[in-house]
Amino acid sequence: MAPGTRDAWLQLEAALADLGETEFLHGPDHEAEDLDIDPIFATRWEVVLDDAILSLGLQQADRGQLISWCRHLASEALLETADDNVLMCLAEDAAGLDCGIVAISTLSEEPVVIGLYIGCQLGVADDWRGRGIAAHLVKHRFLRDRELPTWSLDTPAYSPGGQAAHVAGYRLLHAHLENLRDPDAEISPCM
């Protein structure tokens, strides 16, 4: 089924039907008291990016390979073009397997990774925080998987910033569902 069809959005509505903001954080198999929100779970952007490069099978010191990877995703795995020339793309590893969501800036001549949601790690480059990029990463991760990776943890855990990003992503998803309820609205998986 094409991601922009009304059926896809009805499936999304069903996936979110029993999930309030708190349930969106802990998932259907946990309770609110299972949530662990603590600054200790915050990870510096450089660490998130380095971990992602390793898990994607890219060479850490090869800037050209990272640029080529970004260009490939922008042309082959684009999900959405957001404000400030930010592309939201499916992240593929070196073998071509889908493994998360990446935000890429196209403001400069060479594309730059500015955000990632790979595995349970969500991160946005320091200079790009506060622009809603993390919320869009969360939105696309849920659209792709119909669940969050933290739901499978023994204890769903977030930093305060991660919690805020996931709640904002939840609200973006519901904004799209409001558009679905308007019969004259354009239904799109993006924006």
| Runs of H (alpha helix) within the chain | 6-16, 21-26, 45-55, 63-76, 133-145, 160-181
Average pLDDT of the chain is 87
Confidence (pTM): 0.88
Q: How far is CA 97 from the centre of its chain?
A: 16
Count Cβ atoms below 10 Å from residue 162 Cβ, excluding itself.
22
User: What phi and psi, each to the nearest 5 degrees, are found at residue 91?
Assistant: -90, 125
Q: Residues with Cβ < 8 Å from 170, sequence gap 6 or more?
A: 16, 19, 21, 24, 138
Q: Are strands 86-92 and 98-105 parallel, antiparallel or unpaired?
A: antiparallel
**Amino acid identity at 29:** D
Mean pLDDT of 39-43: 96
The string of pLDDT tens digits covering residues 12-29 is: 888 888 899 999 999 999
The residue extents of the domains of the chain are: 6-181
What is the arithmetic mean of pLDDT over 124-137?
95
The tens digit of pLDDT for each residue in 58-103 reads 876 677 788 888 898 988 899 988 876 899 999 988 788 888 999 9
pLDDT at 190 over 50: no
Q: HSE (CB half, 13 Å, CA atoms) of 169?
A: 26
Between 140 and 180, name the one with better pLDDT: 140
Q: Identify any residues that bridge with 75 across adjacent strands, giving them in sequence order.
A: none
Strand order in 78-82's β-sheet? 78-82, 86-92, 98-105, 112-118, 121-124
Neighbours of 27 (CB within 10 A): 18
